A and B are shown apart, each in its own frame.
Chain A
């Protein structure tokens, strides 16, 4: 498909485990963003990649969270030693360039920490 693809759709894991979430942006989009949305809450910015520039990690809530983007395309968001408060929907978005253009979202990964 032509849209942003995220996997897995759902992830249930035990507290303390590490998880990896994957995002495949729209082909040709240079900007990639990760957000999370907790139940009943608004979207919270996590991290932003633009081309080969250093990522903006200002939204990452703790050092247990990290993300990388390989080859300027696919991105993985890693959460180490998961906690129950990490339970949320993690959304990835991409856009053709800078943040002044609308972003297109994937379906998200629903993460549940037991």
Chain B
């Protein structure tokens, strides 16, 4: 079983729509959680950390459910520039990456 599992998508949404997806992780001892964004043929870039109480960063909202071991990301009012692959990342001392969820926002 993979340490981090994600729905690969793709999620194709129109501009302005809300899109949400999540991932599950297997290591209950994981300490830190992140969402990274990766554009085609580019390096991953940190989008946001995920805190137990849930947190927002502009149009992005992340939630963590430790009991069920899943993490979610919601994007509101999606923009064309949000088109990317979103990587769910779980950390004990090293990062474990999901394979990514592809989001395509269309005009």
- Kindly list chain B residues whose C-beta atoms are within 8 Å of the C-beta of A114: none
Given contacts A43-B87, A91-B44, A108-B43, contact A102 B34 (CB under 8 A): yes
Q: Is A70 an interface residue (CB 8 A)?
A: no
Question: Taking beta carbons and an 8 Å cutoff, which residues of B are in contact with A?
Answer: 4, 31-32, 34, 42-46, 49, 87, 91-100
Contact with B along A75-114 (1 / 0, CB 8 A): 0000000000000000101000011111111111000000
Question: Across the two chains, which residue of chain A brings its CB closest to B34?
Answer: A102
Please state if B92 and A99 are interface contacts (CB–CB under 8 Å): yes
- Kindly list chain A residues whose C-beta atoms are within 8 Å of the C-beta of B34: 102
Q: How far is the CA of A106 from the CA of B44 in the complex (A)?
A: 9
Question: Taking beta carbons and an 8 Å cutoff, which residues of A are in contact with B?
Answer: 33, 35, 41-43, 45, 48, 50, 56, 59, 91, 93, 98-108
Determine which of B42, B96, B98 lies in contact with A45 in the assembled complex, contact meaning CB atoms within 8 Å.
B96
B27 to chain A minimum Cβ distance, whole angstroms, is: 12
Known: A35-B97, A56-B94, A107-B42. 14 other contacts (CB 8 A): A33-B95, A35-B95, A42-B87, A42-B97, A43-B44, A43-B95, A45-B94, A99-B93, A100-B93, A101-B32, A102-B46, A103-B95, A105-B45, A106-B43
